[in-house]
């Protein structure tokens, strides 16, 4: 019998799904910020901060629920790990957007926009996976594989972008550093999606 049928376990799973929706919302704002001008980015960044705050509140709520529940859908340590990774993802998306504004970045390189697109795809896949987390199955393996493929694409794009911006002798050194701050946060966010997928797949294996 699935523990998700018990009220405490079901509540935790529903909270996971809610947290995943914050990832999607944050990624959608990041996509808009990627191609926006400076003034528009500032306004979008405020919205991104609001989403990050909602995600932080949600993380606190989940942790409180877990701390006061005897019946959980999975091992307590696994639940804590999932909550932490999801929170990290939203934080890193927020950091990427914040760096665009903080360092007054102008137009982002095309490859940086490709990385943002990968984040949006990872967010959508993760949102779907979290909705089905109560019934670990083949879809979990498929999700982990798709995220891994996207993470590999992100790595390739990141390395190519770093090579391009540092190989350009005419590039403004300060602008290169600004771009790197943004791109490093994007890369870390993509990596965190894979960390989450591996964690979910690990739980599925333990529960099988």
Residues 160, 63: Cα–Cα separation, whole Å:
39
The residue with tokens 């966010």 is 189
pLDDT recorded at residue 104: 95
Lowest mean pLDDT among 14-28, 39-53, 60-74, 124-138: 60-74
Write the pLDDT tens digit of every residue in 64-122. Answer: 876 766 655 667 788 788 889 999 999 999 999 999 999 999 999 999 999 999 999 99
pLDDT recorded at residue 77: 80
Average of pLDDT values for 167-182? 88
Residues 32, 40: Cα–Cα separation, whole Å:
9
pLDDT band at 172 (very low <50, low <70, confident <90, very high): confident
The residues, ordered by sequence, that sit 6+ positions from 15 with a Cβ below 8 Å of its Cβ are 58, 61, 62, 65
Question: How far is the first Cα of the chain from the last one, in angstroms, to the nearest whole number?
Answer: 12
Is the model's pLDDT at 33 over the cut of 60? yes
Is the model's pLDDT at 158 over the cut of 50? yes
Is the model's pLDDT at 56 over the cut of 70? yes
Is the pTM of the predicted complex or chain greater than 0.85? yes
Domains of the chain: 3-207 (1.20.58.220)
Residues 98, 100: Cα–Cα separation, whole Å:
5
Percent of the chain predicted with pLDDT > 70: 88
Around Cβ 105, how many Cβ atoms within 10 Å? 18
């Amino acid at each position: 019998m699935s523990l998700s049928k018990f009220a405490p376990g079901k509540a935790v799973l529903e909270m996971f799904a809610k947290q995943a929706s914050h990832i999607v919302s944050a990624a959608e704002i990041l996509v808009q910020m990627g191609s926006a001008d400076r003034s528009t980015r500032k306004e979008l960044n405020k919205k991104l901060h609001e989403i990050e705050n909602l995600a932080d509140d949600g993380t606190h709520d989940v942790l409180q629920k877990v701390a006061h529940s005897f019946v959980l859908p999975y091992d307590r340590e696994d639940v804590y790990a999932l909550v932490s990774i999801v929170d990290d993802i939203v934080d890193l998306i927020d950091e990427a957007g914040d760096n665009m504004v903080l360092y007054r970045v102008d137009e982002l390189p095309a490859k940086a926009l490709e990385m943002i697109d990968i984040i949006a795809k990872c967010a959508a896949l993760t949102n779907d996976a979290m909705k089905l987390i109560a019934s670990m199955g083949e879809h979990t393996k498929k999700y982990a594989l798709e995220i891994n493929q996207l993470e590999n694409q992100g790595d390739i794009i990141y390395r190519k972008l770093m090579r391009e911006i540092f190989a350009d002798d005419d590039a403004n050194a300060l602008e290169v550093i600004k771009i790197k701050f943004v791109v490093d946060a994007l890369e870390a966010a993509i990596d965190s999606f894979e960390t989450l997928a591996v964690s979910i797949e690990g739980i599925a294996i333990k529960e099988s």
